[in-house]
A = this chain, B = another copy of it.
């Protein structure tokens, strides 16, 4: 069946297309009787106004695009829930794109969202798209950076991030104070700000305690569960195995645990594990002793939601840079706030 057009509706209702448009967009005066005729025709023909054509005129799509590196990571989905709870009352909808930590895929999605004229873009970047981000920003689409900075100091965008360096310093310091000097670190991709900052935090802590950096003890786990598994394999093949493994995000930490358990290692008896971020599954393991950084993704989402509303509803609000302090949770302390 060919798509029903506004002309078909006008013909059926025996009015002009301008009248149909006035009724559907609720502008100008139209008598109740004619309104009824138009709505009846719309119903009978199953007319769906083409939202793209309409949005080209109205300059409004009410859609916010969210580009994240890993749509299956509960951390990003909890942030998104916070955003959604903040913006949905005003009629905005979120659509999601998952870049899989792949800058090229991210670039495709940014172009797609820009081309589809979303009202704003929330981006947790996988890196390397500074120029394109700058272009979209210049074109007047608000971009809010979520969790991750971009390497373009001249470009001032809204940004909500954690104090990654401090938190990574805290958790490393805690491991050292628990007696570990041989710590295996599972890091993320080094072109991502969170990975970079967390590694710097770790480095700062070992420096402070006079522990030498050992390249064998750093493994790039690509922020993925699979990367965490591979890191365990790497560390356990070393001549001098680490006594603790610090995973610098939740997905890698989960992979580390899965691989250690698979190999029959007990935690912490055979290996100490520390996780930057909470592992949802760990709630099931009441006797699991790991040190972790508690993040506040829902709160981050609320802040981002408010920044989106600032951008869309107010004029001339300068870009804001908000930093969330995460907290260290020691094993067996029952510090759970949730």
Which A residues form the contact surface with B (CB < 8 A)? 1-4, 46, 48-56, 61, 63, 71-72, 74, 77, 80, 93-98, 108-109, 111-112, 114-117, 135-136, 138-140, 257-258, 261, 280-286, 288
Given contacts A71-B96, A77-B72, A284-B258, A114 and B48 within 8 Å (CB-CB): yes
Q: Give chain B residues whose Cβ lies under 8 Å from the Cβ of A280.
A: 281
Q: Give chain B residues whose Cβ lies under 8 Å from the Cβ of A53.
A: 56
- B285 and A285: CB pair below 8 A? yes
Report the bound CA distance from A97 to B84 in whole Å: 12
A149 to chain B, nearest CB (A): 22
Report the bound CA distance from A221 to B201 in whole Å: 43
Q: Give chain B residues whose Cβ lies under 8 Å from the Cβ of A54.
A: 115
Report the bound CA distance from A108 to B91 in whole Å: 10
Which chain B residue shows the least CB distance to A67? B95
Report the bound CA distance from A288 to B80 in whole Å: 32
A86 to chain B, nearest CB (A): 15
- A50 and B95: CB pair below 8 A? no
Q: Of B52, B80, B111, B258, which contacts A48 at CB under 8 A?
A: B111
Given pairs A51-B112, A284-B288, 15 additional interface contacts (CB within 8 A): A1-B139, A1-B140, A2-B140, A48-B115, A48-B136, A48-B139, A55-B115, A63-B112, A71-B77, A71-B80, A95-B109, A280-B281, A281-B284, A284-B284, A285-B285
- A116 and B51: CB pair below 8 A? yes
Q: Give chain B residues whose Cβ lies under 8 Å from the Cβ of A96.
A: 71, 95-98
Report the bound CA distance from A69 to B71 in whole Å: 14
Which chain B residue shows the least CB distance to A132? B48
Which chain B residue shows the least CB distance to A108? B93
Q: Of B2, B51, B140, B261, which contacts A286 at CB under 8 A?
A: B261
Q: Give chain B residues whose Cβ lies under 8 Å from the Cβ of A138.
A: 1, 46
Given contacts A77-B72, A95-B95, A140-B1, A52 and B285 within 8 Å (CB-CB): no
A316 to chain B, nearest CB (A): 15
Q: Give chain B residues whose Cβ lies under 8 Å from the Cβ of A1.
A: 138-140
- B258 and A135: CB pair below 8 A? no
A31 to chain B, nearest CB (A): 28
Report the bound CA distance from A284 to B273 in whole Å: 14
- A116 and B77: CB pair below 8 A? no
12 contacting pairs across A/B (C-beta < 8 A): A1-B140, A2-B140, A48-B111, A48-B114, A48-B135, A52-B116, A52-B117, A72-B77, A95-B109, A96-B96, A257-B284, A284-B285
Q: Give chain B residues whose Cβ lies under 8 Å from the Cβ of A51.
A: 111-112, 114-116
